[in-house]
Amino acid sequence: MANNFRNGSSHRSSLTKTDRPLSVNSNAKGAVKSKPLPASGLRKSSPASLGSAAAAAAAKDDAGVLGRVRVAVRLRSRNEEEMVADADFADCVELQPELKRLKLRKNNWDADTYEFDEVLTEFASQKRVYEVVAKPVVESVLDGYNGTIMAYGQTGTGKTYTLGRLGEEDKASRGIMVRAMEDILADVSLETDSLTVSYLQLYMETIQDLLDPSNDNISIVEDPKTGDVSLPGANVVEIRDQQSFMELLRIGEANRFAANTKLNTTSSRSHAILMVHVKRSVEGRDIAHSGENGNGTQMVKTLKPPIVRKGKLVVVDLAGSERIDKSGSEGHTLEEAKSINLSLSALGKCINALAEGSSHVPVRDSKLTRLLRDSFGGTARTSLVVTIGPSPRHRGETASTIMFGQRAMKVENMLKLKEEFDYKSLSRRLDIQLDKLIVENERKQKTFEDEIERITIEAQNRISEAERNYEDALEKERLKYQKDYMESIKKLEEKWILNQQKQGSERIMSGSKDYSSDVASNGKDSMASVVEELAEVKKLLLKETKSRKAAEGEVNNLKSQVAQWKRSEASGNTEILKLREMLEDETQQKNKLEGEIAILQSQLLQLSFEADETSKRLDRGGSANGPGSLDSLMTEVRNQQPKDSGNGEKASIAKLFEQVGLHKILSLLEAEDTDVQIHAVKVVANLASEELNQAKIVEAGGLSSLLMLLRTSEDETIHRVAAGAIANLAMNETNQELIMTQGGIRLLSMTAANAEDPQTLRMIAGAIANLCGNDKLQTKLRGEGGIKALLGMVRCGHPDVLAQVARGIANFAKCESRASTQGTKTGKSLLIEDGALSWIVQNANNGASIIRRHIELALCHLAQHEVNAKDMITGGALWELVRISQDCSREDIRTLAHRTLTSSPAFRAEISRLRIER
């Protein structure tokens, strides 16, 4: 098996599900849920994490399943050196893989036998090793559990080859890291799931980021309630494909410390830790919420919050244990070997204590044991592969490795499912549904109103048309009857005239007849004519009567049509009234629905606060009325009393932020009322303390408004709070450049020169200290008086102010040191040129630990560059460096000071001249 462990390639394969966990046991709280996992060889042992009794109590409260640490042993084949040196000697190890046993020879006739979960010979393939050691752990992580895969063994036995081999030339040689990521990528959906990676190394009790070498002092944070360990300062990179992951591994391996020893040409000098965080969304469960209406209790809404499962895979490539006399380590390599052996020894002590059921587990003896407290005796599923060599020369180291694995097999973990409700996603979904309901209701209401208007207009048009038709018909009938009447009169006149003419002619022609016969004849003719005339008139009158009756019938018909139209109008009005009543009912339903939705939102907000592990408790009080105008907004801001400066105030401020809006709050910074300005700037300062709000404040012009307050206001309280808000914003690198561009350093310096209040000076010093940590702003910050402003504030003498001044000087010195190492800066330190060295030396042994720690760190960074050595010797800094290297309480600073004194020719010469003992 080759010893060069830093080659690899990328390849993806689908994950075949085997040995899957059983169903999840429901938990009403929804914060953490557990389900059984298959675990072989379960033993009764303490389920507590490394040295954490609180974790044991938490495990007892939340259902979990015991899972013993599984241990596999892998034998490395002889290398070229051993083939020559041990040619006449038999291997000290004999494997029986079919029985999962290993024999360690004491001599030619006696041997000790050990059993493991898996025994892998030198011919076992990388695929076989992955499937028996890592694949069950990877599957557990995909199901929402924490998992750990770790390699332990002597230097040169193949730990890095087993875990970190990239296999770029030969895919069959890929290690566990590459194969695990292939299986994870094959199983997750990058559209809905999240996959992030951090890659670190523990080097001489200092945690360093392999993806960002400048991030070389990462702190460990432990949750006091759950005992979970996190590294908030580490870089977290989102993984989208296998190629990007391979590139991260290449970068990390390039930055990892390695050295050439007698046992291994590329011996790892640090513990490498790969952390893979998998966040997966699964289908949510139903949660019923009930409300009250007029008829009684009914189900208001059924919420289905998505469930998020969070799994963490930790792959640990431990540095190899070694004996100094065999590895030939000396100098700095010797110090590295001592640090490695100490951390491995601390890990062994913890595992011994857990295996023996001891009440005390020394977890805090090493950062390695603190990092692995969840892996041994915690809540993670752990798989350990111990690597050994066959050489009889190293039988003692091989025996020690085997015993380490045997003790680890006695440790049991309490496996827990990391499952949470995604209330934020549910809130977004409810907001979308609410918007849709509002839009749909408005659309229906508009359609309803349009329909009412259409029916009304149509009814009015039909009534108007019927009236016009009735009037036209009456006018036509009147004209027709009038015309017929005139024609009838005209005909009668014409007939009467013809009769008169006829009678006159007859009298003239019968002139010779007797008067009596003429009279009688004329009387008869006249009577006949009159009778005919009367008959004709009667006919005309009869016809006129029939026409009038027909007209009256037509009129009655038209009247009936008009009455029908009026009835239709009345029916339409009735329908309109019904529609209006329906509209009022719809409006009431809408108002009721909005009220129910508001109730659901308030309930959802309360559940979200309770479920979020990182949120704080709600404020003990707060305004219950949302501001609706500028006056109410001012009242709301005034009501935020500064009685509590803790988590309660932050929660109240967050409520005010949601109800009022950032732009309205920022507008109050320009109010004429000083009291309103004070309360408004306090609200902005509290908002700026949350990283999520900082970008919003800057985008809305909040930074410019804060700087304007420093420039124009004369109130000491406004200066103090505004400087605190700027200090919070200055924690972001992008905001730091904006502050410098807008003249922030000059304003802070001027404010510091005129301020006397220690708290105001502390805020200003904190803001400048944050700016001092930016490599790009060093020259500009010093040119605008930032360093002199810091030194000027020491006149106050208050410990809090001095602590911030010391922190700023330490940040500035660290950036200068980094720039000098990278070759971007030459010449003497700007701190020395501005006269800061004398104050640094005077306070190097300050009674306040936080001031002393920053000053000691600044001295060490200044001393790393030879150009500063002469000034530091004449200024008395050498004596302080010697003291730091001997008496400093922090080991990393003490080591840095010792290394600096050793590497500097000027310091060595002066120490030799003064005969200072080190």
Interaxial angle between packed helices 702-712 and 691-699, expressed in degrees from 0 to 180 and rounded to the nearest 10: 80
- In this prediction, residue 179 carries a pLDDT of 95
Domain that holds residue 172: 65-284+304-421
Residue type, 561: Q
- In this prediction, residue 169 carries a pLDDT of 86
- In this prediction, residue 205 carries a pLDDT of 86
> How many structural domains compose the chain?
2
- In this prediction, residue 591 carries a pLDDT of 81
Binding positions: 153-160
Calculate ∠ Cα 764-765-766, nearest 5°: 90
Interaxial angle between packed helices 733-741 and 702-712, expressed in degrees from 0 to 180 and rounded to the nearest 10: 40
* End-to-end Cα, the chain, rounded Å: 45
Strands (E), 157-254: 194-203, 206-209, 221-222, 229-230, 237-238
3-class secondary structure per residue, 750-775: HHHHHCCCHHHHHHHHHHHHHHHCCH
With H, G, I as helix, E, B as strand and everything else as coil, classify residue 52.
Answer: strand
C-alpha to C-alpha distance for 249 and 252, rounded to whole angstroms: 5
Residue at 192 is within a domain? yes
Same-domain pairing of 465 and 370: no
For CA atoms 670, 675, 678, 683, the dihedral sign is negative
pTM summary value = 0.44
Same-domain pairing of 163 and 193: yes
Burial of 889 (0-12, 13-18, 19+ CB in 10 A): exposed
The DSSP element (H or E) to which 162 belongs, if any, is helix 159-164
Give me the residues paired with residue 238 across strands. Answer: 196
- In this prediction, residue 782 carries a pLDDT of 85
Residue at 649 is within a domain? no
Burial of 441 (0-12, 13-18, 19+ CB in 10 A): middle
Q: What are the Cα distances from residue 775, in Å, to 389, 770, 820? A: 48, 11, 11
* Torsion region of 890: left, alpha or beta (phi above 0 gives left; psi -120 to 50 gives alpha): beta
C-alpha to C-alpha distance for 518 and 504, rounded to whole angstroms: 13
- In this prediction, residue 350 carries a pLDDT of 93
Same-domain pairing of 158 and 238: yes
Residue at 132 is within a domain? yes
- In this prediction, residue 597 carries a pLDDT of 67
Residue at 74 is within a domain? yes
Give me the residues paired with residue 381 across strands. Answer: 147
Same-domain pairing of 267 and 243: yes
Query: Which residues 6+ apart lie within 8 Å of 528 measured at CB?
Result: none
Same-domain pairing of 117 and 146: yes
Same-domain pairing of 405 and 462: no
- Residues with pLDDT less than 50, the chain: 1-63, 284-302, 607-609, 611-646, 648-650, 652
Query: Which residues 6+ apart lie within 8 Å of 492 measured at CB?
Result: 536, 537, 540
Contact 870, 906 (CB under 8 A): yes
Residue at 405 is within a domain? yes
- In this prediction, residue 835 carries a pLDDT of 87
- In this prediction, residue 826 carries a pLDDT of 80
Contact 72, 386 (CB under 8 A): yes
Contact 409, 117 (CB under 8 A): yes
Q: What are the Cα distances from residue 356, in Å, to 318, 348, 361, 377? A: 23, 12, 10, 12
Same-domain pairing of 222 and 193: yes
C-alpha to C-alpha distance for 792 and 542, rounded to whole angstroms: 129
Contact 503, 525 (CB under 8 A): yes
Residue at 644 is within a domain? no
Same-domain pairing of 186 and 269: yes
- In this prediction, residue 656 carries a pLDDT of 52
- In this prediction, residue 3 carries a pLDDT of 39
- In this prediction, residue 631 carries a pLDDT of 45
Same-domain pairing of 370 and 467: no
Choose one of 365, 395, 421: the last residue of a domain. 421
- In this prediction, residue 283 carries a pLDDT of 63
Pairing of β 296-303 and β 287-293: antiparallel
Binding positions for ATP: 153-160
Residue at 682 is within a domain? no
Contact 74, 162 (CB under 8 A): yes
Same-domain pairing of 474 and 391: no
Would you tell me how many other CB atoms lie within 10 Å of the CB of residue 216? 14
Q: Which residues of 719-751 are buried (b: 16+ CB within 10 A; e: fewer)?
A: bbbbbbbbbbbbbbeebbebbbeeebbbbbbbb
User: What is the CATH number for 180?
Assistant: 3.40.850.10
C-alpha to C-alpha distance for 64 and 87, rounded to whole angstroms: 52
Residue at 521 is within a domain? no
Q: What are the Cα distances from residue 394, in Å, to 153, 161, 400, 908? A: 12, 20, 10, 40
- In this prediction, residue 238 carries a pLDDT of 93
Would you tell me how many other CB atoms lie within 10 Å of the CB of residue 363? 26
Please count the residues of the chain. Answer: 918
C-alpha to C-alpha distance for 275 and 374, rounded to whole angstroms: 13
With H, G, I as helix, E, B as strand and everything else as coil, classify residue 300.
Answer: strand
Same-domain pairing of 342 and 273: yes
What would the two tokens of residue 668 be? 């109050």
Same-domain pairing of 315 and 463: no
